[in-house]
Amino acid sequence: MTINRVCSSCFDDLDLREWIRDQNGPRGCDACRRHDSPTCKIDDLCDFIDHCLRQYWGSAVNQLPYESAEGGYQGVTWTTYELLQEEIELSLSRDRDDCLLDAIIDGIEEEIWCDYDWLSLDTDVALATSWDRFCEIVKHKRRFFFHAQGNDSHDSFTPATLLNEIAAISLNLDLIGVVPEGTKLWRARTDLARKKNTVPSDFGPAPKHLALQSNRMNPPGVPMLYLASTAKTALLETREDEGRVGRWIAERPLRVLDLRNLPAIPGHFSNTDRQHRLTIRFLHHFANDIMRPVARDNTVHLEYLPSQVITEYFKDYDFADGRLDGIAYGSTINPRGWNLAVFAEPVDLGLEEPSWWNRTKPWFRFGGVKSVRMK
């Protein structure tokens, strides 16, 4: 079968479909024999795919040492078929007999591919391995004075440099957001007697002498207020079936590190800059790691250490528009809900009288209590 034109519907990859639609060729696909979608010339498509591949992989003949006695190229290599099928997993839903796949491979310049830069790690890998090393350090080697462990290089970052990189990435990807004034947020208590008369402080952060539990964003002895987007989410986060839930209402916009809806990782065939894509890949690795569920067992205080350090770092980080008021993140218990770890002291909640030298307006006002029970 000779394929001169191929249509957008032959591809499941959304970026390739969009690129072909932008070419806006006449209906009539030589691959699927249908007339329901725009087409492009197969040669133009192969040139575009080749260009995209070269954004993420290198040419073995230009990079890798070659030793016949040692079996050829001295490094990991791929054929074009292996890249498209195994690494990218290109899906061609209408290609029943692989005619289109064969035409694409034949249309791309014959190449043996290798890593983009075989002497260096990709940015996402360098950041991810540095993050994993950072977690190992704060869990098992140094708890407090760890900032200068190791040396900075293209492939590795000291903990201090890594934390600064994460802050810069968050800023560059517009993850510094705002929870609007008037937003209602909830905190659940399941340990209050049913008939007890409650006061706002019952739904504030735990008193310092009672803050004995290690949580996702704070270590024992350092109270922090955790609020949820709905009363149901607040109760679900306690892993109990019923409780009393207090409502807090934001009295001003709150600046937060917003991890609720991370930007999607761009595909290999998008127009996204290579470094931008790799940075987003790391961001997902980082966010998934600090937000993953942790069993309430004897290791909880260790597993939460990295996210506790990150929280303290962001709490004091001087962004250009000011410091943060908290960190917003998705609920691992209720996919429709989200949580907010608030960097507020009791005075910021109106639970203590302000000092004469600090008369700032409280961040929240208390809006009442209700009982919630899961059905």
Which runs of consecutive H residues, i.e. helices, occur in 99-230?
A: 99-107, 123-140, 159-172
Task: Give the DSSP letter of residue 36.
Answer: S
pLDDT by residue for the chain (375 residues), tens only, comes to 799 999 999 999 999 999 999 999 999 999 999 999 999 999 999 999 999 999 999 999 999 999 988 889 999 999 999 999 999 999 999 998 899 999 999 999 889 999 999 999 999 999 999 999 999 999 998 888 877 777 888 889 999 999 999 999 999 999 999 999 999 999 999 988 877 889 999 999 988 888 888 888 988 889 999 999 999 999 999 989 999 999 999 999 999 999 999 999 999 999 899 999 999 999 999 999 988 877 767 667 788 899 999 999 999 999 988 999 999 999 988 989 999 999 998 888 988 877 666 667 899 999 999 999 987
Tell me the C-alpha distance between 92 and 120, whole Å. 33
pTM above 0.85, yes or no: yes
Burial 291-315 (b: 16+ CB within 10 A, else e): beebeeeeeebebbbbbbbbbbebb
Q: How far lies 334's CA from each of 231, 237, 319, 329, 339, in Å? A: 11, 8, 31, 12, 10
Tell me the C-alpha distance between 162 and 157, whole Å. 6
